[in-house]
Structure 1
Amino acid sequence: MSYAALQEKKSELIRKALDGSVFVAPDSVPSLGALTTTGGELLPLPSGWGDLGHLSTDAAAFARATETTKVRSFGSVESTREDVTSDEITMAINAQETKKQVIGLFTGADVAALRATAGSGEVAIAKPDRPKPRYYRVLGLFVDEVEAGEIYFGRYMPRSRITEFGDQNMGEGDDPIQYPMTFTGYKDSAVGFSHRWHWAGPGWLALLASMGFDREPTTP
């Protein structure tokens, strides 16, 4: 058999994120289930979710860090056992829109009841001496497009916290004022996971067989 007969390369399965958003909600709202209908169309997000708006061209960067412990055994030059002790997924973003939700996330303040002053419209937030950890539900939703329609890539963290803030530059230059933040996902005991991947959309449905997926039979 030749290599040409053996290989299975399909350029139509190469995906890119052409657009997308990061949606955030308080952890008090119900956890998300499916993102799409049976036909692949997006379902509306429940009340309480907000789009952070424009992001930098890096959009969202997901990182996965694992730590392990290894067992060494007499007579073996390799580890004979390795156990995962830590497995965390983070999402780093650079929000570009200055608005209430983004300001609340970046300052760590509870802005639900925050109002601009009656006269000047000024908004001020004092940094607390000991900030309280605030948890959020976070959905990164990104879209590609093929002839059959849109393909959606979802990364859902039902319980996440902002664990790192980047530098904020106020100088002149090509970049706007931005709000760099990193979310870390933690297990939500109610739903049983810390991170969930989603792939869906009309374009996804059209490529299921080509990607190697069988579809569950329709319930009569």
Structure 2
Amino acid sequence: MTTPTPPDLMADLRTELIRKQLVQAVYAADASAEAITNPFNETTGELAALPSGYVAVGYTTDDGLTFTSDLSMADVTSSQSVEPTRSDVESDVLTASYTPQETNQAAVALYEGLPLSGTGALPAVGSAWSWDRPSTPKNPFRRLLFIGLDYADDGSEIYVVKFLPRARLTSKDDEQWARSTETQRPVTFTAYRDSAVGTSCRNWVDGPGWRSLSPGSNEVQSVAITGSPTGGTYTLTFDTQTTGAIAFDATASAVQSALEALSNIDPGDVTCAGGPHPGTPVTVTFVGQYAGTDVAEMTGDGTGLTGGTTPAVTVTTTTPGGA
């Protein structure tokens, strides 16, 4: 009986997964605009063009974007327990808050409840603007797209994206005019479920830099016996280390045991499936210390096989590692 190996507490720590949103962008559209189904090019992970009608909010204050989830639970208490004996989500409300610094069409329209396009929308910057405060605000629903940008070690982009397909202004702070600070129009939007999209918030993480973090494929090699032997043994050699004799009719577990007996393969470094020989090949998947890497192809020696017609053992790589 073998003693289990204690976990390596540092093995699963990855500094490259500590991310920041170094740059943030906010885009808004009227509820009539096309919903975002995928903000990325599926092949490359680059950002795709936005549908018509989405307007940039522009610069925001350096405290960035805040997404708040207000979670409320309904507990069942019982006289026999000091803890709740049941707890269920009563409500979970998502809000998004940010403070625009620009006086542009999007920042003003979202703050004042004006349409972003069409009748009643503000014209381009530099044209005369005029609007009245309504006696009964309409407070229309919007579509909001939030994009955060970070960079991988090679400088390629990593994006975190949130899309609120049906959001409504539920709070706004004071618009202040002062010599000491820029004019700000802080807003908070609450996310509501969009029946067509099927959610109140859709999230993505993608980008060329994110895809570069993939560990790659695990290498898979196939060990086949040809010539229909009726007896004898064969051996496998991996990176100059050769196994003991493996029976001509070995099962996958027997091949795995032979490989794990090598000095350069530890238990958990290979997983064998398929078999048994000689009728069915055994597949060897390299995991553990060899996971996601391109390893040397094993070689087989079938001179110990007997019977049949010119029996032999062949090894082929069916899935290269690291691809």
Same fold (TM over 0.5): yes
Larger Rg: 2
RMSD: 2.2
| Residue deviations 1:10-51 (CA, integer Å, cap 9, x gap) | 111111111121000111112111111121111000111111
Query: Please, which runs of 5 or more residues in structure 2 have no aligned partner?
Result: 217-291, 293-323
Asked if 1:9 is matched to 2:17, the reply is no
Task: Name the aligned partner's letter for residue 67 of structure 2.
Answer: F
C-alpha distance in structure 2 between counterparts of 1:133 and 1:93, whole Å: 18
Query: Of residues 32, 38, 43 in structure 1, which corresponds to 2:36?
Result: 32
Q: Distance in 2 between matches of 1:2 and 1:170?
A: 62
Q: Structure 1 pair 106/194, CA: closer, same or farther in 2 (3 Å)?
A: same
Structure 1: gaps spanning 5 or more residues: 215-220
| Match status 1:167 vs 2:186 | no
What secondary structure is seen at the aligned counterpart in 1 of 2:209?
helix
Instruction: Tell me whether 1:186 sits opposite 2:189 in the alignment.
Output: no
* Corresponding residue of 1:61: 66
- Structure 2 CA distance for aligned equivalents of residues 34 and 204 of structure 1: 16
TM, length-normalised to structure 2: 0.60
What is the percentage of aligned positions where both structures have the same residue?
A: 34
TM-score normalised to structure 1 length: 0.86
TM-fit CA distance, 1:116: 7.8
For 2:150, the equivalent position in structure 1 comes to: 144
The CA deviation string for residues 121-176 of structure 1, in whole angstroms up to 9 with x for no partner, is 64232211121131011010010012151000101101000110011211111x21
Residue 88 (structure 1) shift: 1.1
How many aligned positions are there?
Answer: 206
CA distance in 2, matches of 1:140, 1:188: 17
SS of the residue 1:53 aligns to: coil
**1 or 2 for the larger relative contact order (CA 8 Å, sep ≥6)?**
1
Q: How does 1:1-220 map to 2 (within 5 A)?
A: 5-7=8-10, 8-37=12-41, 38-110=43-115, 112-114=118-120, 122-146=128-152, 147=154, 149-173=156-180, 175-209=181-215
Q: 1:34, 1:200 → 2: CA distance? A: 11
Structure 1, residues 44-73: CA drift from partner, whole Å, max 9, x if none? 001111111111111211111111111112
